[in-house]
Structure 1
Amino acid sequence: MIQSEINPQLASHGGNIMLMEVSEEGVAILQFGGGCNGCSMVDVTLKDGIEKQLLEMFPGELTGVKDITDHQAGAHSYQ
């Protein structure tokens, strides 16, 4: 679902996400990469876009999403 639905949308901005794990509470733990790493709009993208899509597609299985990306500028950030 992430590779076929979400990442193509993020690719238009040079970004992507990876699912790192799903917690026992049903929270999808995500890591942003590419142009999303360090982007000021990542919180909006996460809550208003990605979380809504995932909760609609997996009702009863997922309860939310969490971003574990280090968004501070540095060598790891997309440039």
Structure 2
Amino acid sequence: MSLEEKVEAALETVRPYLKADGGDVKVIEITEDGIVKVEMIGACGSCSISPITLKTGIEQAILSHVPEIKSVEAINLTDTKEKNVAI
């Protein structure tokens, strides 16, 4: 299974919750240094708690399933302080 496939499989564990609220997440890039860049789409793109969803839901799912990944960043969240926090 490729790194991209592993990340997508991890995202499938949180997607039902995102979709239930009218949102989703799309992988834009996985960098050589282990950073997954995602785009929050639908309701998740404008929700005020998206930074929390990113860190406690999306990033935790990916990190627990794909140890090669170091962090997850959203390219479209306006609160840069939250989107670049490393856990």
What's the TM-score bracket when you normalise by the shorter of the two chains? 0.7 to 0.9
The runs of at least 4 aligned residues of structure 1 exceeding 6 Å deviation read none
Aligned-residue CA RMSD (Å): 1.2
State the TM-score, normalized to the length of structure 2. 0.73
Q: How does 1:49-68 map to 2 (within 5 A)?
A: 49-59=57-67, 61-68=68-75
Query: Which runs of no fewer than 5 residues in structure 1 stay unpaired?
Result: 72-79
| Contact map agreement 2:13 2:61 (CA 8 A) in 1 | no
Query: Which runs of no fewer than 5 residues in structure 2 stay unpaired?
Result: 1-8, 79-87
Secondary structure, aligned partner of 1:40: coil
Pick the structure with more helix per residue.
Answer: 2
Q: Which has the larger radius of gyration?
A: 1
Confirm whether residue 8 of structure 1 aligns to residue 20 of structure 2. no
Deviation at 1:43?
0.6
